[in-house]
Structure formats: structure tokens, C-alpha cells
Structure 1
């Protein structure tokens, strides 16, 4: 299981949609570990839940094939290659302080502008297709801009869920059969209870102890637990939590986010970069791996806990409506983040605007891989600085 997912972790470029395509080719077409209907059903569950959808699909496939150790092996194989690459980058930026101010790193920040803009456009089309959901997105953006902190973002998400629950129309889904996984409802309830307890209690524990690593774990766990709509949404949630306290400089944050687009595997491995550049007692390999674990722990608890309850969840119209509202709200939050901090921190001149537009054109019109776009913008930033 580890070797199979390690191969995917080393080669799966292109973001979560591409990852799901790689998974289908490997596990449905080639290995025939599950049929197309079961795979599609699993993807639907993971897209319904918060967290990194492609990683959660991999965890569930590993669990269905080889139990608890199979789930852990699948996650490790898919995640560790990109996490290791980003931790090495963090070491480089820590050793050569001038690297953070170089033209190449400025190019990475401009790449983040284009990538986030593409994500906003794509998510708007799929998650805000009508006027009510577009209205939720605009309102969430206004809240996020008016209250530029994690509190503002969480408020926008909560209000989006409430408005969606009360106002959004939804067609009732017909009952469906689901593949059985060797996990009982009791085990699922224990996992979901652990997820909720950690989400509620970690911030209080951090306040009581005052220990930085507990505070950081609470921040990364909360971000992993509340990311709806795709990995890009992790950008505003983490930026509002790690930059204002001074744990990570904003320039370093955006450069790392840009570099995270150029590595294979899930975007959530950005947590490893941040943990590696944070001050003592974090930092280095131990900080990177610790924050990586805190970021992905909610994904484990949620997907394995929800498997026995999937049919109940999908039949609750109120939950489905609330999730539509939450997904619309995160589009607005990401749109607000596109302006501040992404645009305001990266674009300072006409040449920056031109480079960002060129990168966006390559992504959206040319359908060029983000890996090449990130490399080109890094070279462009270096040339302009020179």
C-alpha cells in the first residue's frame, strides 16, 4: 500500500481534481480494487466533508484494502514526498536569509496571485452557479475584508451555513447503496466525537498552557477541520493565524504557498513548510512533521468516522443545504484573500501585473501545468529583479 501511494505521491501533479483522476486510473482501471460506482460514491463523500478530498479518498481506499495500517500507509506514501520537498525549501530559506528577498521568491508570490485567481474563478463556476449562492459569496468576502482575522473567516463560514440551511433550494437525493467498510457505527461515532472534542478543546488547552506548540497545533488542526471547497481555501485560514502573531513572515508565507504548487501530492503539505520555518520550539523537521500531522488529523477522523453514516448524511436535506451555503462562503473568503494578502503583498509594479496576467493566461487559456507556471514566474521575477 505504501509503495503504491508513494508512486502517486511522487508523480501526481495538478491539484485535487487531477489526483482523483490518477486514483481512478490506478485503483479502478488498473488494479480493480473497487468498481467505478464505489469509487464515485467515495469521491462524493470526501467532497461533502471538509478537508483535502483527494487525500481522504486515498485514506479510505487504504482502509478498505488493508485496514487501519493501510489507511496510514496510503496517507504517508501520498503525502511525505511533497512534505519533504517543502521542508527542504524551508531549510534553504532559513539558511540563506537573503533568499526570501530575492527576485525568484518574488516570482513565487506572483505565481500565487495567478493560482488563487484561477481557483476563485473555478470555484465560483461550480459552487456559486446562481444568485443566492453568489450573494453568500459576496457577503462572506465583505465580512472577511471587514474583519481580517480568523474570527472573521469563521463567522463568514458559520453565517454561510445558516443562510444555506434556511434559504437555499435543494432537490432531495434518492436512496443509494454504498460499499461496506469494516468499520462499525460505534467506531465511527468515537472518531467523530474525537474530531469534535479536539476542535473545541485544543484552543482552550493552548490558552491554559501558553505553550507555542499547542497553540500552533490548535491553529493547524482548526484549519484542517474547516477547509471546505478545496485545498486553496487553506491559504486565508492559515495566513490569518500564523502571520499576525509573527510566527511566519508574510513574504515567506506567500513564497512557500507558491512553491507548494510546484510539488506533487496534496496542497495541505504546505503545513510542513510553515511548521519548518516557525520559531523554536517548532521549526526544522520536527516542526514540519508535527504541523503536517495536526493538519491532516481531522481528515483521518472525519472520513473514517463518516463512512458508516454516509447514507444518513446524504439524506439530510438540511445538512446538504448548509453545506451549499458553506461552500459558497469559502469562495468569498478565498476571493477576499486574493486581494489581501496575496495581491497586496506580491504586486507592486506594472511588470508584476504583467507577469501575473501572463501566468493566469497560461493556467486558464493555455492549460499549462502549474509546475511550469511556477517555474516560469520564478525565472521572470529573477530577471525583473536583475
Structure 2
């Protein structure tokens, strides 16, 4: 795939630069997968200009289509476009390692980390950060990707479908519906060719990745016995990563079936890890590091953590690598360009639905929370400060409000 159709800035970076940027995000991106999209847009579209909104939504659309952790896949793709395969690996490692190490440490040393009023207040503050970041990202994307009434209608329809459906599978239906309506009704000029992806590999490698994905999935379905083993652990987490659509919280019931129902880990330990994952920056899939370290394999805990972590991320990355070349070729065709315009509008609707449920509903419980969110929103929107400032404000205000003498108590 040649690069003349894309801005030269898209492939002007190096792996060290990618690692530094994603490490900062890996240390500060609280709020779960939906919030990560807001962080990514703020960092790579508004602040650094590595992508424009069309290219960002282009990548997000395909990541939403595929099983796996959408925010991590998006980061992997951004690193790939910026600095090649080293950039993709750097993005994954930098974004994932902070929370993976924290979850591994939690498995070993801190089973009571989230208990107590202070821990509860910190978690609540992180939920308010998610409200600020997601609402900020949503407004910016809506301005670019829903410029006419048709695409506004697609976004509203997608949002209503997801909210009324209540199941993660409806996200997939909403994106397909947006693509179909866009292909039929959107104007041919709705998609900008400048958003075509500057890939550094072709369909041959994409085909190899798809074959590897299918082969590994077939191997993971071979029974490994009731007792936990390294091969069984790898298979369980590979299956979870292969079959989860929506990422984030959606992977939890799959993992529970794999490790709790199988008797490898107790329900209390599983729920403790789930609670800890809510307080961690970076991808929620790093819960796998906690679970892998907690399963008694008779081996060093770090080995179980590493195998579980690699196994749950691998299928999503293989599928993304396999799909990107065909996706890039399609968007140069008028009908596909119209379809992508509809998909982009549907993505805006999905973000709006997620902003309401669960981000707003789980985060904002009263007037004090609404005030905290409003101030945080002013920090990033009006004052154009980094999301780190909103993080510090929301967590600090939530902790202060939990104290008997706090101003918001």
C-alpha cells in the first residue's frame, strides 16, 4: 500500500517516540475502554496531529467490528501507522505494562487494596474522569463525523439501538446498520481519501495472520484436562480474546466461565481482581495478568501472568493485522466510502450511548458529582489542559468530598 494518499506526518515517527507517548497514556488513562477512546483522540488527533478525525474513526470502526480489546487494538494500529511494527509493539507494551504490573502485584501482595472508604472514593473519582474524557471526545467527533442531518439520524439510531438492546451484540448490529444506511444514502463525498491507511505490509502477511489466528483457535479448543496447566491456561485466555465483542467489561463473563466455573480460581478472588481492574489505568484485559498469576500451576506466578496476558491479546491483534489491508483497499471505492461515513456516524452514536450508560449512570450520583464533572470539563475544553489535570481534579475532589469535613460532603 503506497503512502502518497495520506499525510506524511502519519509515518514520520519512531518506536521510541511511540513508546514514550503510550507509556504516559498507560500510566494515566483511567476509566475503561470507552474513556480510552477519548484519551486517544485528545492525544493523537487534537494535540499531536498524528491522525485526523476521519482516520481516527476509520481505525476505530474496524476495531469495533473485530473481537478483542478495541482500545488496545486501536493503540496497536496507531503505533503501526506511526512507526511500523516496532511502533505497534511499542504502543502495546507501553500502554499495557503499567496496569499489567499493577495487577500482577495486586495478585501477589495487595488483596485488600480496594477496601475502605478512601479506596472507594478514589474509584468514584476515576469514574468521574471517564465522564469528562468521554464527553469531550464525543463532542469533538460529533462535530467532524455527523455534519448533516442524515448522519445525525444514524448516530441517534445507533445510540437508541444499543441503549434499548442492552446487549454488547447490538453494538455490532448498530455498526453494520450504519454502514448499510451510509452505503445507500450518504453522499459520495462523505469520506475523505486522505484517511486511507498507510500500511507497510500487504495482503500476503495479512493472510498468514488470519491462518495463524484460526490455527491457534483450533488448538485452544482441544481439551487439556480439568487440572490447570500452562497449555490449558493459554487456551482459555485465547478463547476469551477470540470470542469477546465489545472488549472491556464484556470479557469478564467469558473469563469467569474459563477460570471460576472450571474451578481454577475462587469467586471471591475473581471479584477482587475485577474490583482492582476498575482502579487501574490502561486496558481492562490486564485482568488476565492477575488471573494468570492467581491460578495454581505449580510454576512461578509471573509465567502464568505472562502467558495469560499474551494469550488474551494475541487473537485481537492477529485479526486486526489480517483485516487492515482489505479495509484500506475498500475505502477507496465510492460505495465503501459512503458506508464508512455511515459507520463513523454510528460510532458517534455508540459513544453517546456509552456516555449515558455506563459512564454517566455509574459515575454521577448527585449534584456534587455533576459539579465536579463540570469543572473537569472546563479544564480540558475551555482551558485546553491535559486530561491529567482533570484526573487530578476529579479524584482529589471525590476524596475530599468523602471526608466528614470535605467541602462537598
Map 1:189-200 onto structure 2 (within 5 A).
Answer: 189-192=207-210, 197=214
Cα distance per residue 1:15-36 (max 9 Å; x no partner): 34524788889xxxxxxxxxx9
- Structure 1 residues 24, 337: CA separation in 2 closer, same or farther (over 3 Å shift)? closer
* TM-score normalised over the length of structure 1: 0.68
Cα distance per residue 1:65-85 (max 9 Å; x no partner): xxx6x4664345543444446
Map 1:356-375 onto structure 2 (within 5 A).
Answer: 356-375=373-392
Q: Distance in 1 between matches of 2:288 and 2:177?
A: 31
Map 1:285-324 onto structure 2 (within 5 A).
Answer: 286=304, 290-291=308-309, 294-295=312-313, 297-299=315-317, 301-303=319-321, 306-307=324-325, 312-324=329-341
2:45 equivalent to 1:7: no
- Structure 1 residues 372, 161: CA separation in 2 closer, same or farther (over 3 Å shift)? same
* TM-score normalised over the length of structure 2: 0.65
Residue of structure 2 in register with 1:79 after alignment: 95
Q: Distance in 1 between matches of 2:356 and 2:272?
A: 14
Q: Distance in 1 between matches of 2:348 and 2:53?
A: 24
- Structure 1 residues 78, 176: CA separation in 2 closer, same or farther (over 3 Å shift)? closer
> What is the RMSD of the two structures over their aligned residues, measured on CA atoms?
4.6
Gaps of 5+ in 2: 1-13, 29-38, 64-69, 227-231, 257-266, 404-409
The answer on whether the counterparts of 1:56 and 1:300 sit within 8 Å (CA) in structure 2 is: no
The answer on whether the counterparts of 2:80 and 2:87 sit within 8 Å (CA) in structure 1 is: yes
Equivalent residue of 1:353, what SS?
helix
Residue of structure 2 in register with 1:263 after alignment: none
- Structure 1 residues 291, 138: CA separation in 2 closer, same or farther (over 3 Å shift)? farther
2:60 equivalent to 1:57: no
- Structure 1 residues 170, 312: CA separation in 2 closer, same or farther (over 3 Å shift)? same
- Structure 1 residues 43, 133: CA separation in 2 closer, same or farther (over 3 Å shift)? closer
Q: Distance in 1 between matches of 2:163 and 2:327?
A: 35
Deviation at 1:95, TM superposition (A): 3.1
Q: Of 89, 112, 115, which aligns to 1:98? A: 115
Residue of structure 2 in register with 1:28 after alignment: none
Deviation at 1:111, TM superposition (A): 1.4
Q: Distance in 2 between matches of 1:121 and 1:176?
A: 20
Q: Distance in 2 between matches of 1:385 and 1:251?
A: 24
Q: Distance in 2 between matches of 1:118 and 1:177?
A: 25
Q: Distance in 2 between matches of 1:40 and 1:344?
A: 27
Residue of structure 2 in register with 1:140 after alignment: 158
The answer on whether the counterparts of 1:5 and 1:77 sit within 8 Å (CA) in structure 2 is: no
Equivalent residue of 1:367, what SS?
coil
